[in-house]
Structure 1
Amino acid sequence: MLRSKGIHPRISTCNSLIESIIKIQGCYAGYDMFREVFGLDGESGNDNGSRVKGVVPNVYTFSIIMVGFYRDGLVEDVEKVWSEMANMNYEPNAYCHSVLMEAYCDDGRIEDAMCVWEEMGFKGVKHDVVSYNTIIGGFCRIGEMGRAEEFFREMELSGGVDGTCVTFEHLINGYCKIGDVDSAILLYKDMCRKGFRPESSTIDAVIRGLCNKNSVSEALDFLRVAVKKHGIVPKGKSYEGLIKGLCLEGRMEEALKLQREMIGKGYEPNSEIYFAFIDGYTKKGNKELAKKLRKEMLETRTPQEES
């Protein structure tokens, strides 16, 4: 309607429109609106089909669309928008490079992400904290902690780029992933010294790592300190791992106390927790209670658990 009256919204308005459409109707609808708004399909509303007068996309416009495709896991479409930006002679900024790197990392294409990283250097685009976090996170996800640490050290020594909470979370989760929970805890302590507040998912990763190495008491202490210090609500998986570990060690009263706490947080016991208690009581010689729990489990199992 505005266009029919010869009124052309500012680029910020156009970008907001495209971003809203992506959120509500999906990335392809947002991309179609992008092409319509900027007259890229020869349907701009004027006689010669050229781009709409008075409004042209900017680099932020392309980043909005790239992020939309990335969030839907459409790496090829992210690449398509990247190529389109180059064909229109736009120079991508550090954030656009990071979006493309993140898409490659999520797709397991870490070497392609490294090519983008190196391209930034060739073009003179400064590696900012987002790009460092992206490449560090990519190596952490595939368990290549040596290379992740290299970039972490480079970031600290580069000057002007400080690590963030996200940096530490990538590294902590990466070390937990490869079973090196000791290194994860050292990084967690360093993270706390710097005043960062970890996400509950990071706390959960450390707890699972400690439980996997049969350090249940240490995991329980870690949970208590994290809850008190950071006000974090643990995830159900953390409670599950701790309860299973306590039952395995025959510490049934502690396991029951933790289960009550878990239920108080809104988590219902699943079949894994039931089995842990059943095995624990069986080993303790309390077969009657184990039998009672088995019956209760069968009566309360959800259709998903039964399948």
Structure 2
Amino acid sequence: MLLRGPSYPNVLHHHLLLSRLHLATATATGPASDAPDLWIAKAIATAFLLSPSTASSGLAPFLPALSPSVAFAAVRRLPTAESALGLFQVTRSAFGVAHSATAYRFLVARLFRSGLHEAALKVFDQMASDGHSPDGPCLEFFANSFAEAGQLDAALKLLARASEFNCRVRCYTFNKFMNLLVGRNRAQDAIFLFREQLASQFFTPDTCSFNIIIKGLCRLGDTDGAFEFFKEMRDFGCTPDTVTHNILVDGLCQTQQVDRGHEMLRRIQSDGLCVPNVVTYTSVISGYCKMGKMEEALEVFNEMIELGIRPSRVTYNVLIDGFGKAGDMPSAVSMYERMMVCGCPPDVVTFTSLIDGYSRSEKLDDALRLWNEMGQRGIRPNAYTFAIVISSLCKKNRISEASHFLKELSERRDIVPHAFIYNFVIDVLCKVGNLDEANILLLEMEEKRCSPDKFTFTSLIIGHCMKGRMVEAIGLFHKMVATGCAPDSVTVSSLVSCLLKAGLPNEVNRIMLIASGRDLGLDISSSKESPSSLGQSPDITVAM
């Protein structure tokens, strides 16, 4: 009966291994015992893999003095990180093996690669408690492993322990993590890390370190704080470079201190400490364009040309967009033609800015002509290009054409659909009473996992109310609340007003009860708001 038991082969194999292991340990003596040591490691690994619990108790009598090298060899032979960890801990606790720093690093690295980050951190702590303090490269590896797994905070905690282990982490590594924080809109955390490291003796910042912190402060709009760090750079032996000045100039322009940014540009030019480049000039040009000061923008552009600095595509796009928003399409087209003559090919931003300019100037046919030209050049429109054309067509009540463009957009797999684009068409369909098509678009949005927003629901609710379809309007309101889209005072007051006119006071009470729980601050009698933002064209953000 024993022979038929399902565990019999494993048990038999396991006892056979233990017997051979006993023989191997009896004969493995002296410096020439490498081959027996390897066999012992294989046997331990196999026995542990077959039955971890039995191996733990069964190996103890045969291996009173298991060497760290044999234990490490056995751990390395196991096929999974979990089994390697199990044998490592057994040999450490049951057999008293003092594992080497190499064994610890191997295991921690393997656990990281397998995604077992918490287990890796525990082994790391054991490593430190066993007297194997990590050096700089080791700590950097562990921190980078956490960061690559998306656990940035855990990585930062490890780096913060550098002084505890009396090891120096490279400036490059700290710069990398500070840059990650700034890129994830955590500039304050980057600044805290930087100040914390400045207070230690294990960190020597470089120019790149300061540039990252200055960039973070500028993104927060704290240009004064950025300039304080700028002044401190030389105290640490760091010389500001072109990148430093570019960040500061751009930071000033982004916070509408364009004149101050322009003044700094001139000072850089006159001092000769570093050479301003196309990025420096484009920042100032962009700042003036955003303020609608096109004469000043063109003056800086011409100054750049005179100095022999060649404009980039971004420079041209900034000016084209600025002229378009200012309603000066002749200048926008002239800049576009100049761009072409200079051998700088236009991109989707160029055409989107021109289309937006024509749309603002109510020259929709010219905008559509450019749309066709864009297609002829093999340039695919982006979400903003579609939004501008669709919204412009809706304003002109050219609903069928707008629907055609919306259909083309919905067939594009490379563009994530946005609710605000659907809203243009849904709103105009509701206003002309074509509720069936509006409802179909709502279903299409949901099929494409494009969540309707409060403007979508408000347009539909008001549209159904105006047509006397109160049951559908109430259903849309409840659907809006159920999907987590909070109705505002416009939505509620419009629905309540229509319900009162329809003689449905009980429904009004229910709607008001829901609304009161959301603290909308309603004043039904005086509210005359409408979702006017539905018809506005979104501004095109030119990439810098």
TM-score by length of 2: 0.47
Aligned counterparts of 2:409 and 2:372: Cα–Cα separation in 1: 11
Deviates more, 1:8-17 or 1:224-233: 8-17
Corresponding residue for residue 452 of structure 2? 267
**Which residues of 2 match residues 114-153 of structure 1 at below 5 A?**
114-153=298-337
Aligned counterparts of 1:166 and 1:235: Cα–Cα separation in 2: 18
| Residues 153-185 of structure 1, C-alpha deviations (whole Å, 9 max, x = no match) | 1111222x1112211121122122222222222
Corresponding residue for residue 239 of structure 1? 422
| Residues 188-208 of structure 1, C-alpha deviations (whole Å, 9 max, x = no match) | 233334343433222111111
What is the CA-CA distance between 1:125 and the residue it aligns to?
Answer: 1.5
Corresponding residue for residue 233 of structure 2? 37
Corresponding residue for residue 213 of structure 1? 396
Aligned counterparts of 1:277 and 1:305: Cα–Cα separation in 2: 21
In structure 2, stretches of 5+ residues that fail to align are 1-196, 476-494, 500-506, 528-544
Corresponding residue for residue 276 of structure 1? 463
Aligned partners of 1:101 and 1:135 also within 8 Å: yes
Q: In the alignment, which of 44, 47, 71 is matched to residue 254 of structure 2?
A: 71
**Which residues of 2 match residues 96-107 of structure 1 at below 5 A?**
96-107=280-291
What is the CA-CA distance between 1:21 and the residue it aligns to?
Answer: 4.2
* SS of structure 2 residue aligned to 1:229: coil
Q: In the alignment, which of 177, 189, 208 is matched to residue 12 of structure 1?
A: 208
Distance verdict in 2 for CA 1:234–1:183, change over 3 Å: farther
Q: Identity over the aligned pairs, expressed in percent?
A: 27
Letter in 2 for 1:34: F
Corresponding residue for residue 369 of structure 2? 186
Corresponding residue for residue 49 of structure 1? none
Letter in 1 for 2:215: E
Distance verdict in 2 for CA 1:35–1:273, change over 3 Å: farther
Distance verdict in 2 for CA 1:115–1:287, change over 3 Å: same
Aligned partners of 1:175 and 1:181 also within 8 Å: yes
Aligned partners of 1:240 and 1:273 also within 8 Å: no
Aligned counterparts of 2:427 and 2:212: Cα–Cα separation in 1: 49
Letter in 1 for 2:452: Y
Task: Name the larger-Rg structure.
Answer: 2
Distance verdict in 2 for CA 1:247–1:9, change over 3 Å: closer
Letter in 2 for 1:37: M
Aligned counterparts of 2:463 and 2:439: Cα–Cα separation in 1: 11
Distance verdict in 2 for CA 1:241–1:277, change over 3 Å: farther
What is the CA-CA distance between 1:253 and the residue it aligns to?
Answer: 1.1
| Residues 236-274 of structure 1, C-alpha deviations (whole Å, 9 max, x = no match) | 333222123223333221111113334552123343442
Corresponding residue for residue 147 of structure 2? none
Distance verdict in 2 for CA 1:112–1:145, change over 3 Å: same
In structure 1, stretches of 5+ residues that fail to align are 39-43, 46-51
Aligned partners of 1:73 and 1:103 also within 8 Å: yes
Aligned counterparts of 1:127 and 1:3: Cα–Cα separation in 2: 43
Distance verdict in 2 for CA 1:149–1:116, change over 3 Å: same
TM-score by length of 1: 0.80
* SS of structure 2 residue aligned to 1:62: helix
Aligned counterparts of 1:305 and 1:152: Cα–Cα separation in 2: 49
Aligned partners of 2:426 and 2:459 also within 8 Å: no
Cα RMSD (Å): 3.3
Distance verdict in 2 for CA 1:142–1:277, change over 3 Å: farther
Aligned counterparts of 1:256 and 1:107: Cα–Cα separation in 2: 40
What is the CA-CA distance between 1:68 and the residue it aligns to?
Answer: 2.1
What is the CA-CA distance between 1:126 and the residue it aligns to?
Answer: 1.4
Higher relative contact order (CA 8 A, sep 6+): 1
Q: How many residues align?
A: 289
What is the CA-CA distance between 1:8 and the residue it aligns to?
Answer: 6.6
Aligned partners of 2:288 and 2:297 also within 8 Å: yes
**Which residues of 2 match residues 218-229 of structure 1 at below 5 A?**
218-229=401-412
